[in-house]
């Protein structure tokens, strides 16, 4: 997600392409305002001003602040998850390659972009606004875990994997991604870590464990 800022008021969208572009501008502005002010103190007036649209125009896209957050999750992270859902079940691709493709998307499309800030925002606000956690769980977590379980089940069924631990506990597979998110947010300036190399090392160990190659 790119950060678009501006104070000049924009004209209403005239076609679907313009509408999607304007919605993206609003979502980028919302993420900025949510991160700067916190969800509780963020105002739709501020989002509209940051996006360069009238508040009335903003209401043409989202009816409330929570709806704005939901749109941010669906567009920002739900989109890549949906793309994975379409690609991963290919029967001609090995379970290992499917898992590696999933991690590639995780590295490049989430941890490597502003989408990671959506997760950071959720970690900051979920305790006070459990409904935000519910939205993220529904739109991202449930779907992501279903993808992981599907890969693991296919791997076991094909004889590629000897272990079914990831099917039973798919959270184990994505735990290092949360570590990477927290580390880059809190400690990277003091103790830099190569996140891509760390995730690759995790994936290597994970594949050895699934294939029963650990001594």
Q: Please, what is the Cα angle at 59 between 54 and 62, to 5 degrees?
A: 130
Q: Scanning the structure block, which residue is given the tokens 């279903």?
A: 146
H or E segment at 198? helix 195-210
Nearest Cα residue to 163 out of 209, 205, 130: 209
Question: Which structural domain range is residue 123 located in?
Answer: 66-210
Structural domain ending residue among the three candidates 20, 40, 63: 63
pTM of the model: 0.81
pLDDT for 13 equals 57
Same-domain check for residues 124 and 189: yes
- Largest Cα span, the chain: 64
**Which of 63, 79, 101 is at the close of a domain?**
63
Domain final residue pick, 45, 63, 81:
63
Packed helices 142-158 and 95-105: angle between N→C axes, nearest 10 degrees: 160
DSSP character for 10? P
Same domain, 91 and 21: no
| Cα distance between residue 73 and residue 129, in whole Å | 15
pLDDT < 50 regions, the chain: 2-7
């Amino acid at each position: 997600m790119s950060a678009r800022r501006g104070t000049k008021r924009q004209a209403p969208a005239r076609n679907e392409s313009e509408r999607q572009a304007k919605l993206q501008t609003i979502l980028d502005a919302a993420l900025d305002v949510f991160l700067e002010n916190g969800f509780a103190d963020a105002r739709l007036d501020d989002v509209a001003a940051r996006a360069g649209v009238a508040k009335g125009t903003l209401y043409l896209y989202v009816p409330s602040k929570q709806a704005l957050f939901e749109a941010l999750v669906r567009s920002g992270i739900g989109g890549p998850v949906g793309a994975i859902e379409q690609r991963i079940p290919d029967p001609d691709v090995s379970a290992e390659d499917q898992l590696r493709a999933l991690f590639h998307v995780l590295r490049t499309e989430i941890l490597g972009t502003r989408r990671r800030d959506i997760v950071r925002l959720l970690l900051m606000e979920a305790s006070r606004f459990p409904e935000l956690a519910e939205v993220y769980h529904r739109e991202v977590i449930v779907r992501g875990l279903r993808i992981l379980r599907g890969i693991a089940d296919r791997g076991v069924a094909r004889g590629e994997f000897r272990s079914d631990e990831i099917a039973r506990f798919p959270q184990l597979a994505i735990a290092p991604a949360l570590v990477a998110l927290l580390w880059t947010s809190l400690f990277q300036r003091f103790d830099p870590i190569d996140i891509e190399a760390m995730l690759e090392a995790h994936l290597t160990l994970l594949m050895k464990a699934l294939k029963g190659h650990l001594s």
